[in-house]
Amino acid sequence: MLFRIAALLSIAILLKQYSHVVCQTVWQPKDQFRLNCGTTMNATVYGQVWMEDIEGHFITDGIPASTSNQNSLLPANGDFLYSARIFTTPSEYTFSVTPGRHWIRMYFYPFSFQNFDPNWSLFSVLADGYVLLSNVSIVGELKTTSQAYLTMEYSINIASSSFSLYFVPANASNSYAFINALEIESMPDDSLADDAILVGHGEPSQFGLPGIALQTMYRVNVGGQTVSPANDSGEARTWIPDSSFILGAATGVIPPYNFNIQYPSTVPTYIAPVSVYGTARTMGGSNIINSHFNLTWIFPVDLHFAYYVRLHFCEIVYTSLYQRIFNVYINNQTALSGLDILAKVTAANMPYYADFVAPMLQGDNRLWLQIGPTPNSGAQFKEAILNGLEIFKINNSEGSLAAVPLPPGFPPIASFQPHSGSQRSSVVVYIGASVGIFAAVAALLASLYFLLFKRTKGGKVMSPAWRSLPLLSGSSGSIGSKLSKASLKSGTGSFVSSAPSNMGGRFIGFAELLEATNNFDESLVLGIGGFGKVYKGELFDGTQVAVKRGNPRSEQGFTEFQTEIELLSKLRHRHLVSLIGYCEEHSEMILVYDYMANGPLRGHLYGTDLPSLNWKQRLEICIGSARGLHYLHTGAAQGIIHRDVKTTNILLDENLEAKVSDFGLSKTGPSLDRTHVSTAVKGSFGYLDPEYFRRQQLTEKSDVYSFGVVLMEILCARPAINPTLPRDQCNLADWALYWQKMGKLEEIIDPRLVGQINKDSLRKFGETAEKCLAEQSIDRPAMGDVLWNLEYALQLQETSSERESSAVNLDACNPQLIELPVDQPMTDDSETNGPVTHAVESEEHADDTSTVFSDDASISTVFSQLVNTQGR
Ligand SMILES: *[C@@H]1O[C@H](CO)[C@@H](O)[C@H](O)[C@H]1NC(C)=O
Ligand SMILES: *[C@@H]1O[C@H](CO)[C@@H](O)[C@H](O)[C@H]1NC(C)=O
Ligand SMILES: *[C@@H]1O[C@H](CO)[C@@H](O)[C@H](O)[C@H]1NC(C)=O
Ligand SMILES: *[C@@H]1O[C@H](CO)[C@@H](O)[C@H](O)[C@H]1NC(C)=O
Ligand SMILES: *[C@@H]1O[C@H](CO)[C@@H](O)[C@H](O)[C@H]1NC(C)=O
Ligand SMILES: *[C@@H]1O[C@H](CO)[C@@H](O)[C@H](O)[C@H]1NC(C)=O
Ligand SMILES: *[C@@H]1O[C@H](CO)[C@@H](O)[C@H](O)[C@H]1NC(C)=O
Ligand SMILES: *[C@@H]1O[C@H](CO)[C@@H](O)[C@H](O)[C@H]1NC(C)=O
């Protein structure tokens, strides 16, 4: 009896330990997206669903492609590789994410589809201000491997709640971009840390990991087998065997697989699975004949980058100190000296890992890793051991991980930043749900020394065939300069501590805001933007407000916060949303605005059940927003450029009166002696002025262009970009201009307006919008002229309906007889040659919007108009 109780007890204890292990083992990512691109079919691989990419509204355009030719070189479970999404114009996938470090995995399997020859595919991929691939030909990359497909893995610290991956085809005829499958998944916060040993310098130092992107070059299970994603402790990485990297004949011995790995609390199981720590390569144990050698592994890498190297150790053979003491060399320099693993942990079979940074600025493009017994250590055996390793490339000072620089003429990297994340959500976004593109990544915060990482977790490695891209040649930016730059920085600096200068808005205490929003009750959330959530609230005095609460972890949001306070506290206008106050206590960044009962204009145009607005209401909204923008441009001493005009940034109050909102990206206009502001391109795709995009010179006319898109959106009740439409229709600006130039704009107006609009009012409106959308900013009217013309269009409409109500036959009526101001603003300056050129260009675009890459005007046009993040 006693025996049985004891047995039960020990089973219970075992179970408890077991369940503890299981608990620790499975990492559950907060975000996990697996997309089977370009298809409407889900694919299931090892029990994981790869979702079709339309359903979640991740992508706004591109051409779905698939092949029925099976390839015997692809894994049997590679179903998700047989479809792809092809991009002939710059395009982006957008995801709503939890801020934090994420894995980004891209799978490429080139196949012929219709007229798309994979030999012609040439493109770049950017994300979050980093270049992941530049001018890459997947076919070219695959030639250097024995594989039929390529996997690329990156690790990026995403600061906002929106993440976009941009595919940009090369500027060459017939070139296109494609992707077969895409995976985005949160990484554990502590899997990477901010210190590592700089090879050749000994002590661990901090590097500034948060601002760094990594590309996995290799992830190796030394002495073991391939570990597939499904067997990788929840992290979905792939580990490959080391046999193809080991140098020479002296390959040591592989001890038996030890399943009994005991993870200490300092090493979570997601650092590496048992199958990695439980296998190893050693020098040969006590049977070793000639101990005078090193075990050497060689990894081809790209020169002119630094590499973050993580080595995994676990003493799975010996049990006592002083039995195995060895050195680790990276690139012929001592990285660790006199390592006795058992001195680093409390018992045998316990994992231990160490992180290094190895700059590879010149010379050999192969990373050398060696282990060998420490000379004269007094250890019992001349021995060394290694269980696993990961090698990641660190982005260079230009934010690039690509082997070659971006092609000349490429738009600035900083313009490939996420927009705020709310656009595609069905939540109605009220105030400033979109903060817009964040500024370039904030400066490195920590770091005294050099590029040292600390316990980062590993990136992924491609299987032998999935090698990372062989580097072509060029270098972009020297590590040395980065290093010296980084070494100048010190201190972590809190961005919240310095209050924006010059603030005019009222300070509102955090306590009052807590009360106003019922402790930031989730049920009061009006919308979510890149800056953070927007809540409905009520202040002590009963004022209804919208409270925009910055995400304290998003340092990039601070610039927008400051800009918005500074601008809005100076500006008061009936058609600008007003800032009631702000709060900057407890590291919070909170802005408080008037509550706009009817929310964003877009919701009244399409995509919701809200009642449709009639033409007069729409015109009044256009006029109100034009007034607001006109005031911005001319009312303040120096003029202010909004930079993010779009239908989600025009809010409607309880009387449907329009108010322009969201000034986070706004810029003070050029001073008198200059004609423009030079700045990185920001704004929302689909609304972006092609000239601004091309020349990066900002003027008020960029807002005029965006406003032209807004006018068309109001008239046609469809998004600026609608990827589900045929290619020539997808971009509203192109499509509407095409019909306008044919004089048939009425063909594409909101069906609910049919029969309501007086044709002269429509003509005036169409001309106004067309002028706003002129390719050259100089051909566009000033906001004041736009306003004037819209008022004229309203007058035409009202006169006609008056006449209608007094039973006059409208059609017989000659509009010229109506006494109205002369139509002068629209007919000045560039009228002469403008329309003709435009007609030609616009027809070209309409015919083939997405393949015109022959000149730089069209690439920018296509880029600015087709790439869309409407959801921001
Ligand atoms: C694909 O999978 C997702 C998530 O599991 C599911 O919501 C969706 O309905 C599936 N689609 C199809 C076409 O099966
Ligand atoms: C791509 O080019 C290679 C030769 O470089 C050729 O063998 C192959 O057929 C081409 N592929 C297609 C789809 O044309
Ligand atoms: C995971 O590992 C187990 C044990 O080694 C093996 O039997 C199984 O096939 C592996 N699963 C996958 C998907 O590789
Ligand atoms: C390390 O030394 C070997 C042999 O001496 C040499 O071939 C190799 O290029 C060196 N590696 C590096 C990265 O310097
Ligand atoms: C092991 O490699 C290091 C670095 O390349 C070298 O200094 C050392 O001499 C090598 N040891 C042996 C025994 O070859
Ligand atoms: C990596 O890119 C970021 C953002 O561009 C930059 O701040 C950082 O300095 C780069 N890292 C290195 C080591 O140059
Ligand atoms: C891009 O790659 C193509 C094909 O490999 C090459 O011909 C072209 O010169 C490259 N362009 C740049 C700017 O590197
Ligand atoms: C595209 O290529 C053409 C001709 O090679 C060149 O004139 C133009 O500047 C390029 N545009 C961009 C954006 O690189």
Identify the pLDDT of residue 151: 93
Cβ(48) – ligand 1 distance below 6 Å: no
pLDDT digits (tens, 9 = 90+) for 302-343: 999 999 999 999 999 999 999 999 999 999 999 999 999 999
Identify the pLDDT of residue 530: 56
In this structure, the dihedral spanned by the alpha carbons of residues 58, 64, 68 and 69, taken in order and rounded to 10 degrees, is: -90
DSSP state of 149: -
Identify the pLDDT of residue 679: 57
pLDDT at 389 over 60: yes
Lowest mean pLDDT among 158-172, 315-329, 572-586: 572-586
Q: In this predicted model, which residue has the larger pLDDT, 741 or 539?
A: 741
pLDDT digits (tens, 9 = 90+) for 121-140: 999 999 988 999 999 999 99
Give the separation between CA 281 and CA 274, rounded to whole angstroms: 15
Identify the pLDDT of residue 475: 27
Q: Do residues 721 and 868 make contact, with C-beta atoms less than 8 angstroms apart?
A: yes
Give the separation between CA 853 and CA 835, rounded to whole angstroms: 22
3-state DSSP assignment of residue 533 = strand
Burial class (CB in 10 A: 0-12, 13-18, 19+), 65: buried
pLDDT digits (tens, 9 = 90+) for 27-47: 788 899 999 998 888 888 877
Residue corresponding to tokens 């497909």: 149
Q: In this predicted model, which residue has the larger pLDDT, 835 or 576?
A: 576
Give the separation between CA 54 and CA 79, rounded to whole angstroms: 18
Question: How remote is the C-alpha of 334 from its chain's centroid?
Answer: 38
Give the separation between CA 67 and CA 324, rounded to whole angstroms: 54
pLDDT at 613 over 70: yes
User: In sequence order, which residues have a C-beta less than 8 Å from that of residue 160 and are 6 or more positions away?
Assistant: 99, 418, 420, 421, 438, 530, 551, 554, 556, 557
Query: What is the band of 492 on the pLDDT scale with cuts at 50, 70, 90?
Result: very low
Q: Which of the given ranges, 14-23, 69-78, 372-381, 726-735, has the highest pLDDT on average? A: 372-381
pLDDT digits (tens, 9 = 90+) for 241-264: 999 899 877 788 899 999 999 999
Q: Which of the given ranges, 230-234, 450-454, 535-539, 562-566, has the highest pLDDT on average? A: 535-539
Specify the residue with its C-alpha closest to ligand 3, atom 4.
231
Identify the pLDDT of residue 676: 58
Rounded (10°) angle between helices 759-772 and 615-635 = 30
Identify the pLDDT of residue 554: 56
Lowest mean pLDDT among 48-57, 328-337, 790-799, 830-839: 830-839
Identify the pLDDT of residue 624: 94
Cβ(55) – ligand 1 distance below 6 Å: yes
**Considering the chain, what percentage of its residues have pLDDT values greater than 70?**
73
Give the separation between CA 850 and CA 134, rounded to whole angstroms: 20
Question: How remote is the C-alpha of 21 from its chain's centroid?
Answer: 35
Q: What is the mean pLDDT of residues 69-90?
A: 87
Distances (CA, A) of 617 to 602, 610, 730, 798: 14, 14, 26, 12
Cβ(544) – ligand 6 distance below 6 Å: no
Q: What is the mean pLDDT of residues 66-83?
A: 85
Which one of 121, 125, 135 would you pick to mutate in the ligand 7 pocket, going by the greatest count of ligand atoms within 8 A of its CB? 135
pLDDT at 26 over 80: no
What is the set of domains in the chain, with CATH numbers?
A: 32-186 (2.60.120.430), 218-394 (2.60.120.430), 478-594 (3.30.200.20), 605-866 (1.10.510.10)
pLDDT at 527 over 90: no
Indicate the residue type of 839: A
Query: In this structure, is the dihedral angle defined by the CA atoms of residues 652, 655, 657 and 662, taken in order, positive or negative?
Result: negative
Question: How remote is the C-alpha of 775 from its chain's centroid?
Answer: 28
pLDDT at 854 over 50: no
Q: What is the mean pLDDT of residues 808-829?
A: 35
Rounded (10°) angle between helices 759-772 and 700-716 = 140
Question: Which residues pair with residue 313 across a beta bridge?
Answer: 352
Q: Which of the given ranges, 20-24, 68-72, 504-508, 868-872, has the highest pLDDT on average? A: 68-72
Q: What are the tokens at 760?
A: 């002269």
Identify the pLDDT of residue 572: 76
3-state DSSP assignment of residue 659 = strand
Q: What is the mean pLDDT of residues 548-552?
A: 76
**Which atom of ligand 2 is least distant from the CA of 119?**
1
**Which atom of ligand 5 is least distant from the CA of 293?**
13
pLDDT at 24 over 60: no
3-state DSSP assignment of residue 692 = helix
Identify the pLDDT of residue 698: 79
- Distance (angstroms) between ligand 3 centre and the Cα of 861 equals 50
Identify the pLDDT of residue 461: 28
Q: Which of the given ranges, 567-581, 658-672, 764-778, has the highest pLDDT on average? A: 764-778
Specify the residue with its C-alpha closest to ligand 2, atom 6.
119
Question: How remote is the C-alpha of 671 from its chain's centroid?
Answer: 33
Pocket of ligand 7 (CB under 6 A): 122, 135, 137, 140, 404, 407
Q: Do residues 134 and 126 make contact, with C-beta atoms less than 8 angstroms apart?
A: no
pLDDT at 9 over 60: no
Cβ(395) – ligand 6 distance below 6 Å: yes
Query: What is the band of 61 on the pLDDT scale with cuts at 50, 70, 90?
Result: confident
Q: What is the mean pLDDT of residues 654-658?
A: 92
Give the separation between CA 701 and CA 778, rounded to whole angstroms: 8
Identify the pLDDT of residue 285: 61
Give the separation between CA 31 and CA 103, rounded to whole angstroms: 10
Q: What is the mean pLDDT of residues 749-778?
A: 92
Specify the residue with its C-alpha closest to ligand 3, atom 3.
231
Identify the pLDDT of residue 682: 62
Distances (CA, A) of 105 to 134, 179, 506: 16, 11, 46
Q: Do residues 846 and 734 make contact, with C-beta atoms less than 8 angstroms apart?
A: yes
340, 644, 734, 760: the active-site residue? 644
3-state DSSP assignment of residue 384 = coil
**Which has the closest alpha carbon to 280: 217, 330, 337, 326?**
326
Question: Which residues pair with residue 95 across a beta bridge?
Answer: 163
Identify the pLDDT of residue 696: 73
Question: How remote is the C-alpha of 220 from its chain's centroid?
Answer: 28
Q: Which of the given ranges, 62-76, 420-434, 685-699, has the highest pLDDT on average? A: 62-76
Task: Say whether pTM exceeds 0.95.
Answer: no
In this structure, the dihedral spanned by the alpha carbons of residues 399, 405, 406 and 409, taken in order and rounded to 10 degrees, is: 110
Query: In this structure, is the dihedral angle defined by the CA atoms of residues 137, 143, 149 and 154, taken in order, positive or negative?
Result: negative
**Which has the closest alpha carbon to 61: 84, 86, 41, 80?**
86
Q: Which of the given ranges, 110-114, 417-421, 841-845, has the highest pLDDT on average? A: 110-114
For residue 727, report the phi and psi dihedrals to the nearest 5 degrees: -55, -45
Pairing mode of beta strands 32-36, 181-186: antiparallel
Burial class (CB in 10 A: 0-12, 13-18, 19+), 680: middle
For residue 568, report the phi and psi dihedrals to the nearest 5 degrees: -70, -25
**Which has the closest alpha carbon to 189: 456, 493, 470?**
456
Angle at 300 between CA 298 and CA 306, to 5 degrees: 100
pLDDT digits (tens, 9 = 90+) for 675-734: 555 555 566 767 888 877 777 777 889 899 999 999 999 999 999 888 778 778 888 999
Lowest mean pLDDT among 294-308, 535-549, 777-791: 535-549
Indicate the residue type of 584: E
Query: What is the band of 494 on the pLDDT scale with cuts at 50, 70, 90?
Result: very low
Cβ(296) – ligand 4 distance below 6 Å: no
DSSP state of 345: S
Identify the pLDDT of residue 418: 64
pLDDT at 12 over 80: no
pLDDT at 793 over 60: yes
Residue 662 falls in the annotated catalytic set: no
Average pLDDT, the chain: 75
Specify the residue with its C-alpha closest to ligand 2, atom 4.
119
DSSP state of 783: H
Query: In this structure, is the dihedral angle defined by the CA atoms of residues 810, 814, 817 and 822, taken in order, positive or negative?
Result: positive
Which one of 856, 864, 867 would you pick to mutate in the ligand 8 pocket, going by the greatest count of ligand atoms within 8 A of its CB? 856
Cβ(361) – ligand 4 distance below 6 Å: no
Which one of 301, 356, 364 would you pick to mutate in the ligand 4 pocket, going by the greatest count of ligand atoms within 8 A of its CB? 364
Lowest mean pLDDT among 284-298, 365-379, 390-404: 284-298
Lowest mean pLDDT among 270-274, 367-371, 468-472: 468-472
Identify the pLDDT of residue 674: 53
For residue 285, report the phi and psi dihedrals to the nearest 5 degrees: 65, -155
Q: What is the DSSP string of 386-425?
A: E-EEEEEEEP-TTSB-SSSPPPTTPPPGGGS-PPPTTTTS
